[in-house]
């Protein structure tokens, strides 16, 4: 099993290598790929040293799987070249997510849509992934009409530059800015560029990707995505209106029985999900489960997950695991 990781030296690429190792994915040959300026550097995987190569060298090696985390432009340009060789590409950028010919997959939700013919598979947006894992069992039982989500997203979702900005500000050091404003002791109600409708690209991703992954365009979604000065994971306040009424005890049971979810919901003992608890974990944490008393058939939840792991690297590796387990490669 030859596995290429494109963007191997970035935050998500580094996490992909870590997750592949932790989960004992059957890698027989690793091909770490980065930009030309990083080519020749060495990294360690399973105790062995590997030399970082260019994308051209990786294509020549004809890997079985290519995990991409090098940005949308690289994915658009290079993923089809790998796919043409028979390599299965799992892409973490937004490049292919809304392409109607490409599958957008969260394994716990819709892995069954994958076939052997799928050579470019899209990994969803981090904030969408954690939300749909929690929505799935509730939609199956009560049918979701509308979702209102506000996110509180970690600086790690932007990358190393944003982490450096936060840390520099905390130390009183002037440095390169990832954001238009200071992030320490601040909240920035903008993630990605604004669109003509007043929503940001991140908000529109959550709206469109949720419908595609859930396989139901009738689910109405509205989102406000916000960057906050934390690391460890993204948090979401989610309000869900159902067609049918629900029982809170049953909601908890459904969530507890959903693969990939850990319910942390004990207000009496101040137990609820927080980014610091989700950090370096693969579960989606759900808490603050309560009825919305302002209108019927409506539920409030708080959802937290490590955006570099389940929100990116782990989800991609889980897709690869599913493909291998079902002999789709």
Please identify every residue annotated as catalytic: 126, 234
What torsion, rounded to 10 degrees, do the Cα atoms 84, 88, 94, 96 define? 50
Tell me if 83 sits within 8 A of 21, measured CB to CB: no
Find the helix or strand (DSSP H, E) in which 98 lies: none
First to last CA, the chain: 10
Among 77, 78, 73, 70, CA closest to 5: 70
Q: What angle do CA 260, 263, 265 make, to 5 degrees?
A: 165
- Judged by DSSP in three states, 195 sits in coil
Which three-class secondary structure state does DSSP give residue 258? coil
Contacts of 160 by beta carbon, 8 Å cutoff, 6+ apart: 10, 11
């Amino acid at each position: 099993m030859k596995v290429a990781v494109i963007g191997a030296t970035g935050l998500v690429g580094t996490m992909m290598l870590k997750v592949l190792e932790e989960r004992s994915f059957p890698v027989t040959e690793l091909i770490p790929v980065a930009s030309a300026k990083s080519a020749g550097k060495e990294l360690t995987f399973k105790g062995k040293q590997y030399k970082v190569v260019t994308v051209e060298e990786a294509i020549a090696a004809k890997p079985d799987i290519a995990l991409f985390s090098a940005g949308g432009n690289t994915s658009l340009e290079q993923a089809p070249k790998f796919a043409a060789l028979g390599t299965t590409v799992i892409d973490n950028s937004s490049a292919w997510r809304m392409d109607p010919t490409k599958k957008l997959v969260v394994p716990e939700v819709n892995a069954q849509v994958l076939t052997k013919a799928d050579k470019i598979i899209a990994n969803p947006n981090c904030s969408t992934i954690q939300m749909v894992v929690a929505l799935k069992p509730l939609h199956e039982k009560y049918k979701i009409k509308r979702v209102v989500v506000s996110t509180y997203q970690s600086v790690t979702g932007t990358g190393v530059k944003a982490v450096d900005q936060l840390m520099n500000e905390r130390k009183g050091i002037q440095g390169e800015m990832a954001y238009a404003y200071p992030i320490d002791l601040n909240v920035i109600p903008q993630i990605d560029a604004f669109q003509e409708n007043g929503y940001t690209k991140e908000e529109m991703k959550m709206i469109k990707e949720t419908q595609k992954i859930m396989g139901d365009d009738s689910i109405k979604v509205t989102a406000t995505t916000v960057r906050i000065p934390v690391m460890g994971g993204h948090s979401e306040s989610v309000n869900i209106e159902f067609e049918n009424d629900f029982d809170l005890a049953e909601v908890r049971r459904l969530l507890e029985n959903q693969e990939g979810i850990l319910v942390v919901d004990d207000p009496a003992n101040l137990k609820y999900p927080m980014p610091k608890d989700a950090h370096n974990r693969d579960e989606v944490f759900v808490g603050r489960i309560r009825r919305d008393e302002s209108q019927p058939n409506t539920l409030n939840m708080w959802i937290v997950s490590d955006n570099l792991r389940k929100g990116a690297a782990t989800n991609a590796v889980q897709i690869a695991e599913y493909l291998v387990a079902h002999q789709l490669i």
